[in-house]
Chains A and B, each alone.
Chain A
Amino acid sequence: MDEARSPAQRRGLRLPWRYLLRRLAGVPLQLLAIYTLVFGLLAMLPDPIAASMDPEWSEATVTSQRARLGLDQPLWQRYLTQLGGLLTGDLGTSTMSSRPVSEVIGRALPVTLSLSGTALALAFPLGIALGAWQARRPGTPGDTGVSLLTLTLFSTPVFLLGFLLQVGATWVGLPITTSTSSLMMGEPSTWDRITQGVATVILPSLAMALPSVAVVARYTRAAVLEVASADHVRTARAKGLPERLVWRRHVLRNAAIPILTLVGLSLPRLVAGSVVVERVFSQPGIGATLLSAISAVDVPLLLGLFLLYGLAVAVGNLAADVAVALADPRVRHDG
């Protein structure tokens, strides 16, 4: 039995520690670059005071508002002050809500994680299953039908998907946002909790997941078809290996590499959320917070959010590289 395993499998799935540490060391520099770039870009936004000032404000009011937001300091001083705060773990105070940025993000993040996590948990298994199913029967009416379906899902704007899901939920009598009766009546019943979960997690997650299902299915189909026609697969079949094992060991395992990359690249979406879906379903996650922060030109909050995105991208890329390295020994040895 042991002979049937590849050399990599026999060595076990060891983490490429040196590679990992080298990549990790680069993350702070990446974050500093992101911070500097975003700070520069935000400096070009309209003056937050000019954007929000009331016609009745006097010059003294404008001056005190500018001082409160630190806008009376030169740009370089603001950059250094905020960077200093960042190094001590202080992301500053949101000008919009007057709460610490870390608290605002900390409150929104679980909402987004639950939506995006559910969306990814739905999108990948479903997408991979659909793609693999298509790859087993390329060119058949079933394959064409699924391709059409996924293409339609991919082309449908997310806000429209969300709205259609809301209309569908209304039709079957489900709530579409946090249930009012549970807010008004205090302790919700079990049924209320279930419908609440559907309204606040499942529906928005579906709206986020459906376009991703299309992408994952297309990726999987292409990857599986490419590997299925490779020489080593033909050889495995010629050696008389059962078809089930050919698919499991030689096709799916090798086709998993680009899909793992896709998983890694999707990780930032876990924290980024979806501006449109969170707004349509009234979920106060990171996407909705970003939209409010942009409207209010809340620079400290925007900086905090972009840093979070930067961190998520860095970690996502790293996770994808590690996963690929684990699945493909060539990467480990080259890296």
Chain B
Amino acid sequence: MPRPLLLTVPLGLVGLFGLATCGLGDSADGPAPTAEEASAPAPPAPGETRDGLVVAALEAPQNLLPFTLGSDSDGEVAALIYEDLARATFDCGLTWKPGLATEWRWSDDGLKVDFTLDDSLRWQDGQPVTARDLVAAMDWVRDPAVASPRSAHYETLAPGPQPTVLDDGRVRFTFAEPSSRDRQWLSLTAVPPVANHQLADVPRDAVREHPANLAPLANGPFQVGRHEPGRFFELVPNPTFAGPPERQAKLDRILFKVLPDYDTRLLELTRGEVDLMSNLEVADAERLKAEHPELRILQRPPRQMDYIGWNNADPRFDTVAVRRALTMALDLDALLARLFTGEDGTVYAQPAVSTITPALCDAVPDDLERLPHDPEAARAALAEAGWTDTDGDGVLDQDGEPFAFELLYNAGNERRRKVAVYAQEALGSLGLKVDVTPVETSQFYTRLKAGDFAAAVAGWNAGLVPNPTVRWRGDRDLDGDGATDGPGEHETFNLVRYGNPEVDALIAKASRELDPSATLAEIQRLIYEDQPYTFLWWRDELLAIHERFEGVEPDILSRLHGAETWWVPDHKVKYR
């Protein structure tokens, strides 16, 4: 945490003012600092920067204009160079703090919101950030010629130019129909303002080829520095950033060093060539903890889950009883413990019961318990569903058809391979014949989206605003033929072709609610009852960072969330 301003007095002056400072603290601000506190290193003064952070990156950002942002690395950098209307923070759920807007007020019907803008904010070239830049962002993102990956977020807004400029310092956004407040915020902040004066005369369909796409003007704490494709990308403090002092950059630079290979990233981390590496394997995190005291291992709250998906359109998996039996046949707790427990007993994952992350504190119902591991009950349920070994060959069958299927996983994913092999063994002991098949990654997801599979070990990266529509809705008319879609015509990401009219109705209801938490809880209960997936676990993301950095808190939003507040004590500076 940043130290009180009084303690930022240069060391040489401490002797002169120490007593007075303590006295002032005693009388006005509570107890005097302890000796340890008084000698604790101080963060840089506002405007002062020191040292740099080197981040191991899989790839460099490719598209940085607010409306072209695509990959995770784009988004990670964008969060540091743009000051959006409001800043997302996470504490059991998303909360919004003033950013470009100093305050806002929602209308009673929840369809309009007025923002008062901070008139002190500037683009890095000194031009003021105005309401026109917000209008420009909406204009760019809604233009089909631009083909913005973020355009879908604006379909909830009313047609026509948005936002409406009320006066120089106030704008109004209007929504077309009610939806949850979190989804509305997502629409309002998905695209930061655009420095439109940088893009004058740029053809809309060629904007990605403009140099501004990789070096846009910033209005946030950092701006784009040097970059060399495939090697590195640098952010440096934005001297014109007029945000509060605690949000002004305290590092000289953040350097993203492109290291596509995991082992090379790990080697560079242990050599001190990079300061931050994410997505560590459990075994590597354990080793680093034991052998590298200069590194801190942090656990980010989970956003990544694994599951075994049963294709509900496949006759073998189209009954609830069979799917529940398959889950009960698997000892998921033992598997989780085996894959995610460190040597000191730390468990780096938690059981999953839905596709909503448990990091959203109250979003997953407390009473939603996992099915028990009960192979005998599973065997009985399968027999009741008509699956018995009539020919004595050791494999269950029904109407002469053996219960045999392929269990796919994406090739190269060792964790999912282990899950598949375990399932093969556990289900095999019940009399199911399971062939474990690795499939090349892009082919794997193509087959999943096309419904071309029986069962698969896969996973989700969960959003922080639950949207059950894309994964679970089964009654949409996507092909526009006037009829509700049947199996094979579900939402693209309803991979297992799940369909439950009761769930569909609740999803439609939730999408119109300002606070859909109760409806979402009911949806999760119904889906868990139906077991379209065997939900496995939520994995913590493990990352390592050099111990010299202060102010670092693992954050679910991004590994670099709040990096503008990170700092290095003067005596630990590595790069001067």
Residue contact A282 to B260, C-beta cutoff 8 Å: yes
Total interface residues in chain B, CB < 8 Å: 51
Chain A residues, Cβ within 8 Å of B445: 46, 50-51
B63 is contacted by which of A59, A98, A100 (Cβ under 8 Å)?
A98
The smallest beta-carbon distance between A273 and chain B, in angstroms, is: 12
Interface pair B62/A64, CB less than 8 Å apart: no
For residue B81, CB closer than 8 A to chain A, the reply is no
Distance in angstroms from B151 CB to nearest chain A CB is 5
Closest chain B residue to A181, Cβ basis = B575
Taking the nearest CB of chain A, how far is it from the CB of B271, in angstroms? 6
Q: Mark B240-284, 1 if CB is under 8 A from A, else 0.
A: 000000000000010101111101100110010110000000000
Residue A176 at the chain B interface, CB threshold 8 Å:
yes
* A residues 185-210 in Cβ contact with B at 8 Å: 185
- B232 touches which one: A54, A58, A183 (CB < 8 A)? A183
Q: Mark B139-156, 1 if CB is under 8 A from A, else 0.
A: 000001011110111010
Q: Does the CB pair A99–B209 fall under 8 Å? A: yes
Given the interface pairs A56-B153, A65-B147, A68-B147, the reply to whether A177 lies near B229 with Cβ below 8 Å is no
Contact with A along B445-459 (1 / 0, CB 8 A): 110010000000000
Report A-chain residues with C-beta under 8 Å of the C-beta of B258. 282, 284
What residues of chain A lie closer than 8 Å to B151, measured between beta carbons?
Answer: 58, 60-61, 64
* In the complex, A170 has a CB within 8 A of chain B: yes
B442 sits at the interface (CB 8 A) = yes
Minimum CB–CB distance from B441 to chain A (whole Å) comes to: 8
Determine the residue in chain A with the shortest Cβ distance to B494: A55
A140 interface residue per 8 A CB criterion: no
Determine whether A175 belongs to the interface, using a CB cutoff of 8 Å to chain B.
yes
Cβ-defined contact, A284 with B231, below 8 A: yes
Query: Taking the complex as formed, is A97 at the interface, i.e. its CB lies under 8 A from any CB of chain B?
Result: yes
Cβ–Cβ contact B255 & A183, under 8 A = yes
The proximity string for A residues 144-176 relative to B, scoring 1 for CB distances below 8 Å and 0 otherwise, is 000000000000000000010011001000011
Q: Which residues of A sit under 8 angstroms from B229, Cβ to Cβ?
A: 97, 107, 284
Chain A residue contacts of B112, Cβ below 8 A: none
CA A253 to CA B151, docked complex, whole Å? 68
> How many Å lie between the Cα of A321 and that of B574 in the bound state?
56
Do A184 and B271 touch across chains, with their CB atoms under 8 A apart? no
A180 touches B147 (CB 8 A): no
Q: How far is the CA of A178 from the CA of B268 in the complex (A)?
A: 10
Query: Does chain B have a CB within 8 A of A116?
Result: no
Instruction: Known A96-B62, A183-B255, A292-B59; judge A51-B446 contact (CB<8 A).
Output: yes
Q: Is B316 an interface position by the 8 A CB rule?
A: no
Q: How distant is the Cα of A58 from the Cα of B492 in the complex, in angstroms?
A: 10
Interface centre among A53, A60, A61 (most CB of B within 10 A): A61
Q: CB distance B208 to A98 under 8 Å?
A: yes
Say whether, besides A51-B442, A64-B147, A284-B231, A56 and B467 are in contact (CB < 8 Å).
yes
Within A257-282, which residues are at the interface with B (CB < 8 Å)? 279-282
Q: Indicate whether B93 reaches chain A with its CB closer than 8 angstroms.
A: no
User: For A282, what are the chain B residues with a Cβ–Cβ distance below 8 Å?
Assistant: 231, 257-261, 264
Contact of A50 among B263, B446, B470, B471 (CB under 8 A): B446
Task: Tell me which of B209, B274, B470 contacts A55 (CB under 8 A).
Answer: B470
* In the complex, chain B residues whose CB is within 8 Å of the CB of A281: 264
Shortest distance between the CB of A243 and any CB in chain B (Å): 50
Given contacts A46-B442, A61-B151, contact A170 B263 (CB under 8 A): no
Contact check, B213 vs A98: say whether CB atoms are below 8 A apart: yes
Q: Could you tell me the distance in whole angstroms from the C-beta of B53 to the nearest C-beta in chain A?
A: 10
Q: Would you call A108 an interface residue if the criterion is a C-beta within 8 Å of the partner chain's C-beta atoms?
A: yes
Q: Which of A23-64 contact B (CB under 8 A)?
A: 45-47, 50-51, 53-61, 63-64
Query: Which residues of B sit under 8 angstroms from A184, Cβ to Cβ?
Result: 52, 54, 253, 255, 575
Q: Note all chain A residues with C-beta closer than 8 A to B463.
A: 55-56
Q: CB within 8 Å of A: which of B65-84?
A: 68
Q: Is A290 interfacial (CB-CB < 8 Å)?
A: no
Determine if A98 and B209 form an interchain contact, defined as CB atoms under 8 angstroms apart. yes
> How far apart are B275's CB and chain A's nearest CB, in angstroms?
9
Nearest CB of chain B from residue A162's CB, rounded to whole Å: 9
**Which residues on B sit within 8 Å (CB–CB) of A288?**
230, 260
Tell whether A305 is near chain B: CB-to-CB under 8 Å: no
CA distance A177 to B274 in the complex (A): 11
User: A93 at the A/B interface (Cβ < 8 Å)?
Assistant: yes
Inter-chain contacts of B255 with A (CB < 8 A)? 180, 183-184
Judging by beta carbons under 8 Å apart, are A166 and B264 in contact? yes
A-facing residues in B351-380 (Cβ within 8 Å):
none
Contact with B along A281-300 (1 / 0, CB 8 A): 11010001101100101000
Given the known interface contacts A58-B152, A183-B257, the answer about A53 and B62 at a Cβ–Cβ threshold of 8 Å is: no
Are B271 and A170 in touch, CB under 8 angstroms?
Answer: yes
In the complex, A56→B261 CA distance in Å? 29
B403 contacts across to A, CB distance below 8 A? none
> Taking A51-B446, A288-B230 as contacts, is the C-beta distance between A177 and B268 under 8 angstroms?
yes
Considering the complex, which residues of chain B in the window 160-201 have a beta carbon less than 8 Å from any beta carbon of chain A? none
A and B contact pairs by CB, cutoff 8 A, 10 listed? A46-B442, A50-B449, A55-B471, A59-B478, A64-B144, A97-B62, A166-B267, A177-B259, A284-B230, A297-B442
7 shortest interchain CB distances as A-B pairs: A284-B230, A98-B208, A68-B147, A46-B446, A58-B152, A64-B147, A184-B575
